[in-house]
Amino acid sequence: MRITWLLEVADQLWGGVKVALENANWLHRRGHQVTVVSRSAAPTWMQLECAFRRVQDFHSEHLPDGDVVIGTFWTTVPWAVSAGPTKGVPVHFCQGYEGDNPENESLRERIEAVYRLPGVQHITISPHLTRLLRDRFGVSAHEVVYAIDHAVHFPGSQRTPGKPLRVGLVGPYAIAWKDLPTGYEACRLAHAAGLDLILVRATNVPPSPREQNTPFPIEWHTQVPPAQMGEFYRSLDVMLATSSGAEEGFFLPAVEAMACGVPTVLTDVPCFREHQERCGNDQYALFVPPRDAAAMAEGLVLAGSLPQVRTSLRNGGIALAAHYHGDRHGQQFEAALQQMTKARTDRGTLRLVGSTAPASDNGIDTLRRQLRSLGERLQQAGSLQPAARVLTAAHCLDPEDTELLHAAANAQTAAGAPAAALRLYDDLVARGADDEALHTGRGQALHALGRMPEAAQAFRAALAVGTRSADAYNRLGVVLFQAGDVRGARQSFERALVLQPDHRDARANLTALPAA
């Protein structure tokens, strides 16, 4: 197969990037023609064996012809979809769902629209991601077992805990759902209770100022090459993983530490609990509730001081890690890609759902037009929620198209999704838009959300820049009444009737007002 990987950055050491590049190398060694395409330079922290191409953007003309084009992050998936049939089947390799990350709250609508793009094949790396894509987006994903490098991550001699106890904590402090602050608080509590410990920190980014001035010492390891991480883990007495929820797709460091024979204390979240589906028990870790520093501190004490507990966790972790092997992962990944390309061959040219024309080679512009046309047809057919999703997806392909942004916002309003609509309307306002349709739509969204004073302001703005119609004054009167401004509502209904004496809604609303 001819396989293209799209990476926003390849020269930064992140777990998802590492896995994608390891996959590229494995498929290259397997005999496939593999090209990594990235906006960044090639990685210096690992040896890339396949072809590499640095590009300014992922437009179709910058991509090699192929059988498969793989997006590895939500921003790269639309490029894979729009690349055209000569570039290959568009595939989304999902190692974690970005839409639930608190940092991405303002982008959630765009992320969800990407996950709903038609014509995409999906590969996941854990059962809870497979369920999430199925339940939230109606996607049937190919699930493959994840992998660690057992040539790097293997057990050392069983350690006798030292003094101080070496507690490992891996990851960037600033990512909220990694929840490293709770890990710090756990170490503080354990230290205050008399546990002599040193926090052994590995991070791919510079330490945060909030990680300074701790009552216990910290040993820093920054930008550790993957080939040296085994030595890091084997130096630990206990590994602590603090992820707070389902946002974590897998968290390789936990299993890598287990493979190195390190007892682990893990939060009770899906990505860690799901391991027991592979090994049939939960003897590979001490589980603690997420965001519970006291429970984590207690886990550190138990895993660091009780020989029987340490031996049980070490043996259980080593047995679990054996299930995650690179060749097994690679073979399942390869089989999934082969199945996808075979399905395309069987069907002939891939067609966009709802379109009668084959996907073309014109890239994002063509896909955006097709999605917009499909969205408009769905609106005409009364399928309002699918129309809103498709038009929002079209907007994601060209965020600068304000006309399309307006259409997506209106569709979300019609579909009964005022919060989503308001985010899109506010985006238009931020870009300097100032027209009647914008302010009216924004007022309707605010009205549906129960934010009456703000809705009244929006309807006043619509009157200021647009046509002073009876309908406009009636809308304003309704929200003023619901905001408690009976006098203002009366004036608005009366103005509506001056403009259109037979306006039935305004007449009924005026009559229903309490007497002055």
Q: How does residue 355 score in pLDDT terms, banded at 50, 70 and 90?
A: very low
Residue 70 and residue 5: Cα distance in Å, rounded?
5
- β-pairing, 33-38 vs 51-54, is parallel
Q: Which CATH superfamily is domain 2-143 in?
A: Glycogen Phosphorylase B; (3.40.50.2000)
User: What is the rounded average pLDDT of the residues 163-191?
Assistant: 94
Q: How does residue 378 score in pLDDT terms, banded at 50, 70 and 90?
A: confident
Which tokens hold the place of 209? 């100022």
User: Across 89-164, where does the E strand assignment appear?
Assistant: 89-94, 121-124, 142-143
Domain residue spans of the chain: 2-143, 165-321, 364-512
For residue 366, the model assigns a pLDDT of 76
Lowest mean pLDDT among 165-174, 204-213, 217-226, 363-372: 363-372
Fold agreement (2-143, 364-512): no
Architecture of domain 165-321: 3-Layer(aba) Sandwich (3.40)
What contacts 315, CB < 8 A, 6 or more positions away?
Answer: 283
- Maximum mean pLDDT: which of 152-156, 344-348, 352-356, 369-373: 152-156
Q: Are 364 and 79 spatial neighbours (Cβ–Cβ below 8 Å)?
A: yes
For residue 332, the model assigns a pLDDT of 93
For residue 404, the model assigns a pLDDT of 85
Over residues 482-509, the pLDDT tens digits come to: 888 899 889 999 999 999 999 999 999 8
SS (H, E, C) 268-279: CCHHHHCCHHHH
Q: Are 146 and 115 spatial neighbours (Cβ–Cβ below 8 Å)?
A: no
What contacts 9, CB < 8 A, 6 or more positions away?
Answer: 17, 38, 39, 40
User: What is the rounded average pLDDT of the residues 4-33?
Assistant: 93
Over residues 447-485, the pLDDT tens digits come to: 988 899 999 999 998 888 888 899 999 999 999 998 888
Q: Are 37 and 5 spatial neighbours (Cβ–Cβ below 8 Å)?
A: yes
Q: Which CATH superfamily is domain 364-512 in?
A: Tetratricopeptide repeat domain (1.25.40.10)
Residue 373 and residue 355: Cα distance in Å, rounded?
9
Would you say residue 349 has pLDDT above 50? no
